[in-house]
Amino acid sequence: MATSAAKTHDRAMAPGQAGSQAGSRTRPPTRAKGQETAERVRKAALKRFAASGYAAVSMREIASDVGVRPGALYNHFPTKQDILKDLMLSHMADLLAAWEASDLPGETDPLERFVRFHIRYHLERADEVFISYMELRNLEPENFRIIEAERRRYEALLTDILENGRSAGRYAAEDPKVTTRAIIAMLTGIPAWYREGGRLSERDIEELYLDLVRKAVAPEIPHGDRMA
């Protein structure tokens, strides 16, 4: 599946990303054991940040989850902030890479592709998504800028789709930028309430939201039933 490829890709990139943060006291782990520990740190921090919020999570808690003393974390990440940065950067990189790799077979409408991709990815990676929205304000300014740029890149994908669709007469989003935000907000809200095993399957959700989105940007308003 697309996203698992992305996951592999991401982890393959990670050392490069970490290496690019010049001046940090902590080199990225190079030995197998260190790489494993670093990955466990990422996973523990992700879970904790998603559950309690960055500010409410202590390095001691993360260390305890990982099964290591607090000081050992600093062999892998120079600061707590860097763990957050790493998680958010990886997430955005994964997300964009997964989009590139997502070529749902038999689908031709790009809007449908985007909606399905977004829902699936966001349900699958709920924690990453969650902290990427919630912890933006806990990023230091420079990190914030980087993440914001990635986010805009992602949103531009949908804006392009809407604009192209409008030129082609397929959709009628009056203001593609606003519509982009509206659709993304709508879709991104799903993981906040969706629970597996509930009344609706993931596919049900996809269909329902796809229908809402399609109609919202449909080129024409049906005959006599405008409201008000």
Encode 64-85: b = buried (16+ Cβ within 10 Å), e = exposed: ebbebeeeebebbbbebebbbb
Residue 111 binding: pick among its own copies, DNA, none (C-beta 5-8 Å cut-off by kind) = its own copies
d(CA 176, CA 182): 10
Q: What tokens appear for 204 in the block?
A: 């049900």
**Is residue 200 involved in binding its own copies (CB under 8 A)?**
yes
d(CA 50, CA 127): 6
Nearer Cβ to DNA, position 18 or 158?
18
Q: Which stretch binds its own copies (CB under 8 A): 11-19, 31-39, 92-100, 169-177?
A: 169-177
d(CA 110, CA 158): 9
Residues within the interface to DNA (CB under 7 A)? 25, 27, 29-31, 33-35, 37, 57-61, 63, 68-76, 78-81
Residues within the interface to its own copies (CB under 8 A)? 51-53, 55-56, 107-109, 111-112, 134, 137-138, 170-171, 174-175, 178-179, 181-186, 188-190, 192-193, 200, 205, 208-209, 211-223, 225-228
